[in-house]
């Protein structure tokens, strides 16, 4: 059965993957709400922007009046909430935007959703879903080498970013408990893949290497992350919003734990194969690796136990880290126009769909 799914942050990295998946692989109608801040890029949606099943709304989730208008116009049967400020370093330098978007924005969206949902007829009210997409960073970090984050792991956020996401998770669960709003929450591990904004580790390393610039690695690079290919994540999210049980939380991970230094070295080795014509002065890409002062409060290890979503919904990732990172490096080599426009800022001049 087709649904009308309202996606917030649908021009962002994960959000655009969700929108592309919905339009290309399902019969659902999609409404995309995005404020188009620096990380929102409509050029990531060029392949589906002309679809009659796709609708774009240039709206800030903190704008209650605009949200009400969108709800009344689009008439969603589900909301997938991905809009968020998400970069840890930026949250350390300027936490205010993270408090505003991730906490106040989520509250404003919850209230707009509740007002809309409460006026639906009984059947539509029962079928409605609000899916909040969060991060494993709300759990803090893991001390042991064998421990995993589960859906019951206590929250212990370390950065302004993860603290703001933890707060938004609590708000969503409170609206379900207090008002009966039919919510679901997912917490994911580190995503990577096509259309990733260049400030994040993997695209930053790829593009710096291609330019012959240093490849900065925090500390000694021993921090461990569980890597999830973004298209695997998009499939999981759509499965949760359509098949998940109201009130439940599902952790989504890639089963791919890697030290940061391993990730950087793997990218360098792939570039040796896929981009052998190096910048002037570069003998091998690994020579560009540069260790820099660690970030404050840097979590040592994240790792997701994704057995619940596999057991209850049958989802498993299709990509290993080895297959996913090869696809990712190849995509950046083949889509120079996309990332050059991001680096130059020209992408912000694009306003497709308005």
Q: Catalytic residue at 136?
A: yes
Active-site position among 161, 195, 229, 250: 161
Q: Is 137 a catalytic residue?
A: yes
The pTM (predicted TM-score) of the whole model is: 0.95
Q: What is the mean pLDDT of the chain?
A: 94
CB 12 within 8 A of CB 32: no
For residue 27, what pLDDT band results from cuts at 50, 70 and 90? very high
Which of 137, 231, 257, 305 is the catalytic position? 137
Cα–Cα distances (Å) from 288 to 96, 196, 265, in that order, read 34, 21, 10
| Amino acid 300: pLDDT | 83
What does the angle CA 155 – CA 176 – CA 162 come to, to the nearest 5 degrees?
Answer: 25
DSSP of 199-245:
TSHHHHHHHHHHTT--EEEETTS--EEEEEEHHHHHHHHHHHHHHPP
Q: 215, 268 in Cβ contact below 8 A? A: yes
CA angle, corner 57, sides to 53 and 63, nearest 5? 145
Query: What domains appear along the chain, each with residue ranges and CATH number?
Result: 4-197+227-257+301-321 (3.40.50.720)
Of the listed 34, 43, 60, 136, which one is catalytic?
Answer: 136
How far is 140 from 143, CA to CA, in rounded Å? 10
Assess whether 93 carries a catalytic annotation: no
Query: According to the model, what pLDDT value does residue 352 have?
Result: 45
Residues 63-83: tens digit of each pLDDT: 999 999 999 999 999 999 999
């Amino acid at each position: 059965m087709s649904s009308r799914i309202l996606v917030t942050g649908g021009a962002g990295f994960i959000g655009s993957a969700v929108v592309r998946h919905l339009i290309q692989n399902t019969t659902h109608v999609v409404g995309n709400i995005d404020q188009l801040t620096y990380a929102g890029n409509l050029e990531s949606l060029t392949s589906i922007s002309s679809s009659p099943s796709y609708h774009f709304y240039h709206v800030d989730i903190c704008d209650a009046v605009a949200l009400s208008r969108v709800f009344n116009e689009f008439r969603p049967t589900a909301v997938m909430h991905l809009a968020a400020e998400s970069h840890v370093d930026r949250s350390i330098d300027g936490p205010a935007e993270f408090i505003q978007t991730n906490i106040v924005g989520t509250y404003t969206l919850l209230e707009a959703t509740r007002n809309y949902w409460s006026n639906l007829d009984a059947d539509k009210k029962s079928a409605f879903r609000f899916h909040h997409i969060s991060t494993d960073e709300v759990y803090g970090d893991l001390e042991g080498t064998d421990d995993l984050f589960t859906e019951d792991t206590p929250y212990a956020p370390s950065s302004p970013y993860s603290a703001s996401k933890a707060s938004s998770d609590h708000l969503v669960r409170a609206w379900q408990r207090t008002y009966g709003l039919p919510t679901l929450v997912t917490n994911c591990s580190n995503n990577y893949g096509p259309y990733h904004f260049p400030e994040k580790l993997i695209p930053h390393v790829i593009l710096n290497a291609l330019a012959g610039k240093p490849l900065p690695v925090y500390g000694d690079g021993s921090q461990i992350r569980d890597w999830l290919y973004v298209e695997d994540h998009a499939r999981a999210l759509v499965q949760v919003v359509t098949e998940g049980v109201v009130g439940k939380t599902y952790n989504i991970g890639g089963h791919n734990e890697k030290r940061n230094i391993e990730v950087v070295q793997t990218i360098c080795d792939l570039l040796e194969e896929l981009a052998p014509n190096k910048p002037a002065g570069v003998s091998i890409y690994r020579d560009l690796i540069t260790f820099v002062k660690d970030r404050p409060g840097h979590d040592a290890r994240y790792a997701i136990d994704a057995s619940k979503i596999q057991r209850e919904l049958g989802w498993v990732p299709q990509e290993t880290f080895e297959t996913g990172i090869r696809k990712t490096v190849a995509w950046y080599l083949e889509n120079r126009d996309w990332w050059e426009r991001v680096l130059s800022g020209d992408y912000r001049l694009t306003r497709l769909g308005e």
